[in-house]
Structures are given as structure tokens and as C-alpha cells.
């Protein structure tokens, strides 16, 4: 099943921001916010859609995705 484009956008931006921030710090989320101000809504959708993101496994904090 393909995720909706807005969710894919969120996942791609999230991943790109990890090139600068190898964690889910406030600085990381600020970076995501610059590109996708509505990332919180997209994040929720991605979780509800059950999207699994393999690269997130390397980050062991609780705010993945
Ligand atoms: Zn992440």
C-alpha cells in the first residue's frame, strides 16, 4: 500500500533533516518545521497509517517519526 503523498513528503523531509541532526532533538524538529510547518499533523497521519521507516531503527529515543 502506498502512503499518501503528503505523508511521503513528511518522511522524506524527516530523513533529510537527519543528515544534519542524527537524533530527534529540538534542533532536529525545528529543521523539519522550516520545511513542513504542519509536520505534526503529517506525523500523526504517518503513525495512523502504520508506516514503518527502517532508518528510524537507529534512533532509540521515543520521538521517532
Ligand atoms: Zn527520525
> What proportion of the chain, given as a percentage, has pLDDT over 90?
51
pTM of the full structure = 0.80
Q: Looking at per-residue confidence, does 18 or 55 come out higher?
A: 18
- Cα of 33 from ligand 1 centre, angstroms: 13
- Cα of 56 from ligand 1 centre, angstroms: 5
Domain definitions of the chain by residue range = 5-48
> What proportion of the chain, given as a percentage, has pLDDT over 70?
78
Three-state SS letters, the chain: CCCCHHHHHHHHHHHHHCCCCCCCCHHHHHHHHHHCCCHHHHHHHHHHCCCCCHHHHHCCCCCCC
Q: Looking at per-residue confidence, does 38 or 53 come out higher?
A: 38
* Of the ranges 6-10, 44-48, 56-60, the best mean pLDDT one: 6-10
- Cα of 37 from ligand 1 centre, angstroms: 16
- Cα of 22 from ligand 1 centre, angstroms: 8
Q: How far apart are CA 59 and CA 25, in angstroms?
A: 11
Amino acid at each position: 500500500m502506498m502512503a499518501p503523498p503528503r505523508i511521503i513528503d513528511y518522511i522524506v523531509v524527516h530523513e533529510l533533516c537527519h543528515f544534519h541532526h542524527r537524533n530527534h532533538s529540538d534542533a532536529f524538529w525545528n529543521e523539519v518545521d522550516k520545511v513542513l510547518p504542519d509536520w505534526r499533523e503529517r506525523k500523526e497521519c504517518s503513525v495512523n497509517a502504520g508506516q514503518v521507516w527502517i532508518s528510524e531503527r537507529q534512533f532509540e529515543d521515543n520521538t521517532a517519526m
